[in-house]
Chain A
Amino acid sequence: MYAIYKKELKNYFINMTGYIFIAFMLAITGIFTTIINLMSSYPSFEQVLANITIVFLLIVPILTMRSIAEERHSKTDQLLYSLPVSVSQIVIAKYLAMFTVLLIPTAIISLYPLILSIFGTVYFGTAYASIFGFLLLGGALLAVGMFMSSLTESQVIAAVSSFGVIFAMYLMSTLAAIIPSSEIASLISFAVVLGIFVLIIYNLTKNATIAGITAAVGAFILAGIYFINSSVYGGLFSSVLNSLSVFDRYSTFTNGLFDLTSVVYYLSLIVLFVFCTIQSVEKRRWS
């Protein structure tokens, strides 16, 4: 596993992706630090981080797009499968390598509060909690991007789809706000989601029976809950969407709160998507 980690990490710096990722992130952080902290003399570094999370939209796909798609494209994945290493080890090693690349600029960024403290008072507690949250947010997005990369052979598709998913996450709270909170609207929204889910299942398994059963069971549960206690649905869909808004969770950190639930949220997101990636890679071996 260590060998794969080492190879992956080295690979990011043999081709330019690692450097581009780090340079881009440092450049943006530098610009915002200059504007907010230096030029406007604003003492809290967390405001910089709050403003630059949008950078992840661009740089996460750059880092994640090749992780699994490229191996599959060049057939080198066969080597990894034939090595005495399990698929989960391979995926985890790849994830850790990406996380390490993220760690490098974050480590450099964490020097900024120290530098700023030369010129005045900096709240180290909130600044470093925000940096920690920033790292977790990035880590969660990397896991999402890696999962997208495991679904396809093409790096371009991987990059575009992870950009799309991360963009949707970025807009999630805005989307949630426009959905009416009435019970029936919520039910309809869930029904639409169920429909999409069934289509995906049908597409993956090509098995009409399984898809049909899923649709029937899902519809039964949705309708059942509606008839038993319809008040459950009030605003439920928007709150589900809100729980998916990965970026909004981060605002608690930049507002100066070290929120343990957010930490758990990000960690479970990482675990979930790494697990999904493992399953997706395993599934490829079956078909």
Chain B
Amino acid sequence: MCRRFPLREMREEDITLIEVKNLTKRYGDNLAVKDLSFTVEKGKIYGFLGPNGAGKSTTMNIITGCLAATSGTVIINGHDIFEEPVEAKKCIGYLPELPPLYMDMTPLEYLQFVAQAKGIARDKREYGINYAMEKTQITGVQNRLIKNLSKGYRQRVGIAQAMLGDPEIIILDEPTVGLDPIQIIEIRDLIKSLAEDHTVILSSHILSEVSAVCNYVMIIAHGRLIASDTIENLSTYLVGSNVLHMTVRGDLGRIRMAINTLADHAKTIRYEENTEEKTDTYNIDIETDRSADLRELAFRTFVDENCIILKMFVEAIGLEDVFLKLTTEDDEDYREEQEEEALEQRENAFAPDALDEDDASEGPSDSDIAPDSDADKGGSGNDHDDDDYKPMFS
């Protein structure tokens, strides 16, 4: 049932491996996951992205059967995780946030135990264990006690454990957390190589990690899916802006004049004194549409005002900013919604339909982001007034 297919075939078939529908998890009064729905298809690396406490681990724990959901369904390769847990779990290898290792065992003993518990046939066990150890490069430490291994190696043992039994889906919860930079790169490469013949889902609160490894991102905040798309789409869809960074030396009054001239062509302009350079040096950030190129105009304007441009470069707003923007925007939405909900609950006693209608409109649309994303809030995270610029010092 859980046979693997070569990568090329998968692309053509586009088989849905995991289907999550209206998943909700409540801890007492706290809603950890709210009405989450998504599908996972064969052969991709999925990244679960969200700030700490967004519900990533909870969702993963539910998918892997470690945790029961309050409501909703999870179907793994045709098996409902709540109805047929044993069949469903056979298709999944899971590495929780903290690798579940028995410190008193050696990696070899540990993997032997997991292989047996996963019900791998006796004759295939040794091959599977050796393969997993080679792939994760722990063959050299296989006879040392796990408690004596470094964090990086422990993580590898955890991944080897998830690989055993050749599951179709491998789920890794924050696999690189707490590792040093070299280990992070190694683990990322390992994940990429795993993806050659498995579907991998990993979670992270670090965007660069997700964009380095995954080809599909799901952004979660407050237990809800707020964006779900490929990395490329996500950045082009959201990022309508370029930022022109400049360092200019000249008289403040004249610089202001120049900025006023440029303001017609820009979305926002900020400037602040450059403390590293000599006096009369200012850093200026001009945000423009993606299509606009202000470099030439800026050059001429500042030259006209007798200012010297020391440095100038254009930067596209990166995914990091998109992520920040989405999650902080959602924070505001979330607060508003909480208030609304409280209000509705009071009204609801009289009009039960009101809530349903509202739920339908606010549910996460299956590809992409709230349409009302406000460009003015800016990638840098600073709010701007209606004026085109304002000085950052007084």
Residue A178 is within 8 A (CB to CB) of chain B in the complex: no
Closest to A286 in B: B68
Q: Does B118 contact A84, Cβ atoms closer than 8 Å? A: yes
Q: Does A85 contact B96, Cβ atoms closer than 8 Å? A: no
List residues of chain B with CB within 8 A of the CB of A85. 86, 117
Q: Does A11 contact B102, Cβ atoms closer than 8 Å? A: yes
Residue B104 is within 8 A (CB to CB) of chain A in the complex: yes
Task: Indicate which residue in B27, B61, B103, B105 contacts A74 across the interface (CB closer than 8 Å).
Answer: B103
List residues of chain A with CB within 8 A of the CB of B85. 84, 86
Contact bitstring A20-55, B, C-beta under 8 A = 1, else 0: 000000000000000000000000000000000000
Chain A's interface: helix, strand, loop or mixed, by majority?
Answer: helix
- Interface-forming stretch among A2-10, A243-251, A266-274? A2-10
- Interface-forming stretch among A75-83, A142-150, A232-240? A75-83
List residues of chain A with CB within 8 A of the CB of B161. 79
Residue B52 is within 8 A (CB to CB) of chain A in the complex: no
Q: A3-B116, A84-B90, A287-B27 are in contact. Are A76 and B101 (CB under 8 A)?
A: yes
CA distance A174 to B264 in the complex (A): 93
- Count A-B pairs with CB separation below 8 Å: 68
Contact bitstring B84-111, A, C-beta under 8 A = 1, else 0: 0111011010101010111111000000
Residue B64 is within 8 A (CB to CB) of chain A in the complex: yes
Nearest-neighbour CB distance to chain A for B285, whole angstroms, equals: 45
Q: Does A78 contact B113, Cβ atoms closer than 8 Å? A: no
Closest to A87 in B: B85
Residue B391 is within 8 A (CB to CB) of chain A in the complex: no
Residue B185 is within 8 A (CB to CB) of chain A in the complex: no
Interface centre among B65, B90, B105, B113 (most CB of A within 10 A): B113
Residue B66 is within 8 A (CB to CB) of chain A in the complex: yes
CA distance A287 to B65 in the complex (A): 13
Nearest-neighbour CB distance to chain A for B182, whole angstroms, equals: 26
B155-180, CB < 8 A from A: 161
Q: A83-B117, A206-B28, A287-B27 are in contact. Are A78 and B66 (CB under 8 A)?
A: yes
B311-335, CB < 8 A from A: none
Task: Indicate which residue in B61, B92, B100 contacts A76 across the interface (CB closer than 8 Å).
Answer: B100
Interface centre among B28, B66, B67, B117 (most CB of A within 10 A): B117
Q: Does A82 contact B64, Cβ atoms closer than 8 Å? A: yes
List residues of chain A with CB within 8 A of the CB of B98. 75, 78
CA distance A81 to B65 in the complex (A): 7
List residues of chain A with CB within 8 A of the CB of B113. 3, 6-7
Q: Does B100 contact A79, Cβ atoms closer than 8 Å? A: yes
Q: Does A3 contact B117, Cβ atoms closer than 8 Å? A: yes
List residues of chain B with CB within 8 A of the CB of A83. 89, 114, 117-118
List residues of chain A with CB within 8 A of the CB of B67. 285
Q: Does A82 contact B86, Cβ atoms closer than 8 Å? A: no
Q: A3-B113, A4-B117, A286-B68 are in contact. Are A84 and B102 (CB under 8 A)?
A: no
CA distance A80 to B119 in the complex (A): 13
Residue A15 is within 8 A (CB to CB) of chain B in the complex: yes
CA distance A75 to B364 in the complex (A): 33
Nearest-neighbour CB distance to chain B for A179, whole angstroms, equals: 39
Closest to A285 in B: B68
Nearest-neighbour CB distance to chain B for A74, whole angstroms, equals: 7
Closest to B165 in A: A84
List residues of chain A with CB within 8 A of the CB of B90. 84
Task: Indicate which residue in B27, B86, B96, B102 contacts A78 across the interface (CB closer than 8 Å).
Answer: B96
CA distance A286 to B104 in the complex (A): 29
List residues of chain A with CB within 8 A of the CB of B117. 3-4, 7, 80, 83, 85
List residues of chain B with CB within 8 A of the CB of A82. 64-66, 89, 92, 94, 96
List residues of chain A with CB within 8 A of the CB of B105. 14
List residues of chain B with CB within 8 A of the CB of A2. 116
Contact bitstring A71-115, B, C-beta under 8 A = 1, else 0: 000111111111111100000000000000000000000000000
Closest to B63 in A: A82
Q: Does A76 contact B102, Cβ atoms closer than 8 Å? A: yes
Q: Does A15 contact B86, Cβ atoms closer than 8 Å? A: no
Interface centre among A15, A77, A84 (most CB of B within 10 A): A84
Q: Does A75 contact B100, Cβ atoms closer than 8 Å? A: yes
Q: A86-B86, A206-B28 are in contact. Are A81 and B66 (CB under 8 A)?
A: yes
Q: Does B89 contact A84, Cβ atoms closer than 8 Å? A: yes
Contact bitstring A208-221, B, C-beta under 8 A = 1, else 0: 00000000000000
CA distance A287 to B61 in the complex (A): 12
List residues of chain B with CB within 8 A of the CB of A78. 61, 66, 94, 96, 98, 100
8 interchain residue pairs of minimum CB distance: A79-B100, A3-B116, A3-B117, A81-B66, A82-B94, A76-B100, A84-B89, A78-B96
Q: Give me 8 other A-B pairs in contact (C-beta within 8 A), A83-B89, A84-B85, A84-B119 excluded.
A: A2-B116, A75-B100, A78-B100, A82-B65, A82-B89, A86-B86, A285-B67, A286-B68
Q: Which residues of B contact A (CB under 8 A)?
A: 27-28, 61, 64-68, 85-87, 89-90, 92, 94, 96, 98, 100-105, 113-114, 116-119, 161
Q: Which residues of A contact B (CB under 8 A)?
A: 2-4, 6-7, 11, 14-15, 74-86, 206, 285-287
Pairs across A and B, CB under 8 Å, 5 listed: A78-B98, A79-B96, A82-B65, A83-B118, A85-B117
